[in-house]
Structures are given as structure tokens and as C-alpha cells.
């Protein structure tokens, strides 16, 4: 057992492991695995499974494998394998061994032969429709197949012929002989091998029969010496079959234990490779790494950090009942992580030009602005200020609403790090739109001066007009929203493209660099579109949250 066993935050899985360590069934060993099917990019649901499997192994000083569950001869893509490994590493984990389930096809075949020999498996000639009809329902028991009583010799010969390619897809299957009257439908003689004349990326044309998941998975776990096989709740009813396979095959003295936990769901997004792929195929989003996607690649490009994801997975915990986590909680974790690590930069959106009419024409001051409002160790930076500046469109109202303390005609505000300015006049274009504001400033109020004069209620920020850098900004909202029937549809406003003016230092922003755009939110220079000449920023998360952690 690891040293920190006493002070760790136990969940029900830890309790099972603690009991196993006490009984000594696995000799105190903890060995887990993360078993993705390499048929798409991982999403944040997988991140929960990754944190759980790798995290549990770390907690107990155990081991964790990355295992590709590639028993389906479906075309798997090297791109997916590469992305899965990149994502697991990015989350901060490393596997002890990398395994391929298809490497175990020989053992699986031997295990099936063993079951046949023991009279516990038979070849069935029924079609899949017939098998389904005979299976019965929750209320009614199933009916035995007319082929159920074939002798082991006959079954061995037929299974060999299946393997030799004598039959077409679907012509025969191998079924476990358990109990057609079982109250658990999974135990009603489940199919354990099927015929599929398909090339496999690993085994080529060696096999034309492939094991079913429920038969293959326990064997994969047992071969690797896995002790605790953690999976999602929908497999709870399959656990008797998992245990049956290992017991009856009988190759392993202390077979692994399957433990189920509730899968992660998050509001206003979807957590299924298949559905995410459909969005991509429909051309509705950029790809697996679109920053709106709940894929690890998407949230990485969006600017989320591995620390935030790990903390999120830790905070939602593991449970035995399905629930949906508010997307606000994920954003909360991201914000918590970013708030102490991002430097401030001034950026204004929807900019309005301000001319400070009493400020000297050819003067530029370099103001010292804090890189972080609460962490002085993060230092200061120099930001130019001169007669013409831009302020944020949201910081001016020609006719102020109640309790509006920012700029409006006749009102005085503090420009953060600079001076008080007062709006004297609104200059319009011919079409009535605002051309610029004419303001005056008070030199006495320079930031850092011991000014004890008037008080102002509003503070705004600015960008110096002469040196402003134009940047592109993408503000993200929920990927999906429920329609009137409660069905999720792509949110038409899931991304809003806009632009802004930034202080000159952002001219050098590197792809992947994160900042707090002062008073706006956290942003990252997009890794795909940011170039030397043009900076494109993704909004990671806004500053304010409607979600509050429970007390
Ligand atoms: P999808 O339906 O998105 O393809 P999957 O479960 O088929 O998901 P796999 O590649 O088979 O994807 O899953 C690898 C592991 O990740 C499995 O152990 C699975 O239980 C786990 N996993 C998948 N989705 C979630 C989720 N939403 N929450 C927690 N664990 C998950
Ligand atoms: Mg799957």
C-alpha cells in the first residue's frame, strides 16, 4: 500500500481496493488499464476514465496500461492512436505498458475451445434475428436454440471450420452455454464469436472470426494481470458474464474484478465519438480539435489546462449513479486554475476612439501596469498612453442606464493605470453613429500619485491608438443547446467571431500563450491560426461565473 493511504480522499473504488489489499487476494498489487477503442478522438468523458485509472494506480503505487481495444476489425486509424497517446500524456499520465487487444486473439481462441471442450459453448446456425427472437424479454425467459445440444466434438469441428473460413458472415456464431432462463438477459447464451471476413489492421487476414466484447474484455484484463477493471455503469449487468468467462475458462488463478462507475455527462455538449464525428462530417465544425468540441484536442486548443481537467475530475468524484454535470462547473475549474497564472493585457472590443483634448499632442507616456492584480511577483509591464486612445464599446453609454458608472457624457472615470478622464462631447458621423469621444484628463490624478481629490465610481481600461494591434477574437459559447423538444442541436451562436485592439505587446504573442484580457476573460493565442502577422485569440472562459460551488 502506498504511503499516503491514510490521508487520501477515498471513493468507493478505493474502498474495494483497500479491502482487496487487506485480504491479500492480489498480493497487494493494484493494476488498472485504460482501454480505448481507437476509432475517434478522446473526449472529456474519457478524461474522467483516464484520471480514474491512472490516478488510482498512482495513488496505490500500482501500474496502469494503455490498451487499444481493437477486437473489431473496423478500420482503425493511426491518427487516432497518435491522438490518444498525445491526449493521455497531455493530461499528465504515462502508461506502464502499451498493449493491443488483438495481440491476444490466439489466447481468446484457445479460451473458446476450452469452453467448447467443457460443454460450455456451442456453434449456433440461427440467424441473428432468430437468436434475438428466442432470447425472450425481461418478463419472459428465452428459448433454447435447436443447436444447443450439439456435442463438444461436433462444436469443435464446426468452430474449426468457422475459423478456416468455410462459412459466410452471419452463417454461424459461437455462443456460451449458460442459461436461457436467466433473469439477466446477458447470461442467455451470449454470442462470443462471430464471423467477419474483414482484414484487421494488426492481424491482417489471419482471422475471419472475431471475439465479442463481453468475451474478449475479461480475457484481455486477465492476460495483463489487471486487478481492478474499471468501466462505466452500463456494463454492470455484464459483470456476471465477465466473471463467468474468467471462471469457466479457468486459465487464471486470481481473475480481475470489474468495477463500474457512472459515466460523465455535461450539460450543453455531447459525449459520444459517434455523435461528435457526425458534427464533423456534416461540416458544422472545424474538426476533432475545434475549440468548441468536448474532445481533449478541442479543449486543449480552447486553452483549458490539464491541471484544470484533473481538478474537475477530482471534484466531480466517482459515483454509482448517473448524473449530468453543469458545464459551468468545468468552466469554474478552468477559471480557478487560470486566475493565478495568466498575465493581464489590455484589449478593447467594439472599440470607441477617445481624444483627450487637453493632453499634449506629441507626448507618449509609458505607464507601468501590473501584470496581475493580486500577485505582485508577476511584475509590471510598460504600456503606452497618449492623446488618442480606444476604450471598450461596453464602457460607454450615450444615455446611461441606472447604476451605470462608466463613461457617459459629463461623467468622470478612472482609466486604470493612467488618469481620470471626463467625457465632454460625443462626436458623430453623418449617419449618426459615434465617431469619437472628446474627453479631458486631470494630470493630478495620475495613477500612483497621492491624489485625494474627487472620487469616481467607475474604472475602465484603454489601448493607445497609435500603437494598437488589431487582433481577431473568437468568443465561444455552449456547443449544443436543447430545442423545444429537449433534443440537443448545434448552438448557432457557439462561436462569435469578432476583433479588437490590443496593447502593443500582444504583437509578439506566441501560439498557445494565455492571457487575461483585462476585465474580459481568459484567452489563448490559437495554435492553428496565430501567425507572426496575425494574432487570433480563443476565449477560454469569461471572468464571471453563474455557477457557484456548493457550500
Ligand atoms: P464513445 O461512445 O464516445 O465512443 P466509448 O465508451 O465507446 O465512448 P471507448 O473508447 O470504448 O469509448 O472507451 C474507453 C474507456 O473510456 C472505457 O473504459 C469507457 O468506459 C470510458 N468512457 C467513455 N466515455 C466515458 C464517459 N462519458 N465517462 C466516463 N468514462 C467514459
Ligand atoms: Mg466504444
Say which of 143, 198, 263, 277 is annotated catalytic: 263
pTM here is 0.95
Q: What is the pairing mode between strands 469-476 and 536-542?
A: parallel
pLDDT at 308: 98
231 lines ligand 1 (CB under 6 A): yes
Which residue's CA lies nearest to atom 18 of ligand 1? Answer: 231
Cell digits of residue 112: 473458446
200 lines ligand 1 (CB under 6 A): no
pLDDT at 314: 95
Q: What gap in Å lies between CA 346 and CA 503, rounded to an integer?
A: 6
Q: Write out the residues surrounding ion ligand 2, Cβ under 5 A.
A: 37
Say which of 239, 273, 416, 422 is annotated catalytic: 273
Q: What gap in Å lies between CA 414 and CA 400, rounded to an integer?
A: 17
- Give the DSSP per-residue string, 178-198: S-TT-SSGGGSS-EEEEE---
Q: What gap in Å lies between CA 195 and CA 169, rounded to an integer?
A: 5
Backbone angles phi, psi at 209, to 5 degrees: -120, 140
Q: What gap in Å lies between CA 421 and CA 447, rounded to an integer?
A: 12
Torsion of CA 403, 407, 409, 411, to 10 degrees: 70
Distance 45 CA to ligand 1 centre (A): 7
pLDDT at 550: 79
Cell digits of residue 484: 423545444
Closest CA to 11 of 221, 225, 259, 324: 259
From first CA to last CA, the distance across the chain in angstroms is 33
Closest CA to 260 of 235, 287, 293: 235
Distances (CA, A) of 544 to 335, 395, 427, 520, 548: 9, 17, 33, 9, 10
Q: Hey, is 299 helix, strand or coil?
A: helix
Q: Hey, is 462 helix, strand or coil?
A: coil
pLDDT at 8: 58
Query: Across the strands, what pairs with 127?
Result: none
Q: What gap in Å lies between CA 144 and CA 130, rounded to an integer?
A: 11
DSSP-derived letter for residue 423 is: E
Judge whether 177 counts as a catalytic residue. no
Instruction: Give the distance from CA 121 to its chain's centroid.
Output: 41
Q: Give the pLDDT of the chain (551 residues) as one tens digit per residue.
A: 444 444 456 799 999 999 999 999 999 999 999 999 999 999 999 999 999 999 999 999 999 999 999 999 987 788 999 999 999 999 999 999 999 999 999 999 999 999 999 999 999 999 999 999 999 999 999 999 999 999 999 999 999 999 999 999 999 999 999 999 999 999 999 999 999 999 999 999 999 999 999 999 999 999 999 999 999 999 999 999 999 999 999 999 999 999 999 999 999 999 999 999 999 999 999 999 999 999 999 999 999 999 999 999 999 999 999 989 999 999 999 999 999 999 999 999 999 999 999 999 999 999 999 999 999 999 999 999 999 999 999 999 999 999 999 999 999 999 999 999 999 999 999 999 999 999 999 999 999 888 888 999 999 999 999 999 999 999 999 999 999 998 999 999 999 999 999 999 999 999 999 999 999 999 999 999 999 999 999 999 999 887 888 77
Distance 538 CA to ligand 1 centre (A): 28
35 lines ligand 1 (CB under 6 A): yes
Determine how many CB atoms are found less than 10 A away from the CB of residue 411: 18
Do 364 and 385 contact (CB within 8 A), yes or no?
Answer: yes
Q: Ligand 1 pocket test: which of 68, 214, 232 has the largest number of ligand atoms within 8 Å of its C-beta?
A: 232
Q: What gap in Å lies between CA 202 and CA 211, rounded to an integer?
A: 15
Determine how many CB atoms are found less than 10 A away from the CB of residue 366: 11
Closest CA to 130 of 149, 145, 147: 145
Determine how many CB atoms are found less than 10 A away from the CB of residue 269: 23
In three-state form (DSSP H/G/I as H, E/B as E, the rest C), the secondary structure along 62-120 is CEEEEEECCCCCCCCCHHHHHHHHHHHHHCCCCCCCEEEHHHHHHHHHHHHHHHHHCCC
In three-state form (DSSP H/G/I as H, E/B as E, the rest C), the secondary structure along 473-537 is EEEECCCEEECCCCCEEECCCCEEEEEEEECHHHHHCCCCCEEEECCCEEEEECCCCCCCCCCEE
Amino acid at each position: 500500500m502506498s504511503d499516503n493511504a491514510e490521508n487520501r480522499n477515498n471513493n468507493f473504488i478505493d474502498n474495494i481496493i483497500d479491502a482487496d489489499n487487506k485480504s491479500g487476494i492480489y498480493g497487494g498489487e493494484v493494476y488498472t488499464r485504460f482501454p480505448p477503442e481507437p476509432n475517434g478522438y478522446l473526449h472529456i468523458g474519457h478524461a474522467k476514465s483516464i484520471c480514474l485509472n491512472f490516478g488510482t494506480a498512482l495513488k496505490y503505487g500500482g501500474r496502469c496500461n494503455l490498451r487499444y481495444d481493437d477486437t473489431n476489425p473496423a478500420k482503425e486509424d493511426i491518427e487516432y492512436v497518435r491522438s490518444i497517446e498525445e491526449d493521455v500524456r497531455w493530461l499528465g499520465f504515462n502508461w506502464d505498458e502499451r498493449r493491443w487487444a488483438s495481440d491476444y486473439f490466439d489466447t481468446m481462441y484457445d479460451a473458446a475451445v476450452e469452453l467448447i471442450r467443457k460443454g460450455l459453448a456451442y456453434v449456433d446456425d440461427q440467424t441473428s434475428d432468430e437468436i434475438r427472437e428466442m432470447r425472450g424479454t425481461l418478463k419472459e425467459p428465452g428459448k433454447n436454440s435447436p443447436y444447443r445440444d450439439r456435442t463438444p466434438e461436433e462444436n469443435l469441428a464446426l468452430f474449426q471450420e468457422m475459423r478456416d473460413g468455410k462459412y459466410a458472415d452471419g452463417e454461424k456464431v459461437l455462443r456460451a452455454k449458460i442459461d436461457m432462463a436467466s433473469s439477466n438477459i446477458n447470461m442467455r447464451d451470449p454470442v462470443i464469436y462471430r464471423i467477419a471476413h474483414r482484414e484487421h489492421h494488426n492481424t491482417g487476414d489471419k482471422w475471419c472470426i472475431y471475439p465479442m466484447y463481453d468475451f474478449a474484455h475479461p480475457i484481455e484484463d486477465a492476460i495483463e494481470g489487471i486487478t481492478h477493471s474499471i468501466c462505466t455503469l452500463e456494463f454492470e449487468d455484464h459483470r456476471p458474464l465477465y466473471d463467468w468467462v474468467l471462471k469457466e475458462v479457468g486459465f487464471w488463478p486470481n481473475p480481475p474484478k470489474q468495477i463500474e462507475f457512472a459515466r460523465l455527462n455535461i450539460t450543453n455538449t455531447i459525449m459520444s465519438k459517434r455523435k461528435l464525428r457526425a458534427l464533423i462530417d456534416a461540416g458544422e465544425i472545424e474538426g476533432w480539435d475545434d475549440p468548441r468540441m468536448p474532445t481533449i484536442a478541442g479543449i486543449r486548443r480552447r486553452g483549458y489546462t490539464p491541471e484544470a481537467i484533473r481538478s474537475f475530475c477530482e471534484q466531480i468524484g466517482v459515483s454509482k449513479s448517473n448524473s449530468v454535470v453543469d458545464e459551468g462547473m468545468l468552466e469554474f475549474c478552468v477559471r480557478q486554475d487560470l486566475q493565478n497564472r495568466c498575465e493581464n493585457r489590455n484589449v478593447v472590443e467594439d472599440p470607441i476612439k477617445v481624444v483627450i483634448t487637453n493632453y499634449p499632442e506629441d507626448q507618449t507616456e509609458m505607464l507601468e501596469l501590473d501584470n496581475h492584480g493580486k500577485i505582485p511577483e508577476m511584475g509590471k509591464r510598460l504600456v503606452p498612453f497618449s492623446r488618442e486612445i480606444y476604450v471598450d464599446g461596453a464602457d460607454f453609454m450615450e444615455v446611461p442606464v441606472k447604476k451605470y458608472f462608466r463613461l457617459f457624457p459629463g461623467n468622470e472615470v478612472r482609466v486604470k493605470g493612467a488618469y481620470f478622464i471626463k467625457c465632454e462631447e460625443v462626436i458623430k458621423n453623418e449617419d449618426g453613429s459615434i465617431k469619437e469621444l472628446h474627453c479631458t484628463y486631470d494630470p493630478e490624478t495620475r495613477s500612483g500619485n497621492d491624489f485625494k481629490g474627487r472620487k469616481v465610481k467607475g474604472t475602465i481600461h484603454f489601448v493607445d491608438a497609435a500603437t494598437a494591434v488589431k487582433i481577431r477574437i473568437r468568443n465561444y459559447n455552449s456547443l449544443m443547446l436543447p430545442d423545444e423538444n429537449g433534443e440537443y442541436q448545434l448552438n448557432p451562436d457557439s462561436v462569435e467571431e469578432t476583433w479588437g485592439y490590443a496593447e502593443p505587446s500582444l504583437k509578439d504573442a506566441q501560439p498557445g500563450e494565455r492571457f487575461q484580457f483585462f476585465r474580459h476573460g481568459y484567452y489563448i493565442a490559437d495554435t492553428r491560426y496565430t501567425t507572426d502577422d496575425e494574432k487570433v485569440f480563443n476565449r477560454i472562459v469569461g471572468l464571471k461565473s453563474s455557477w457557484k460551488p456548493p457550500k
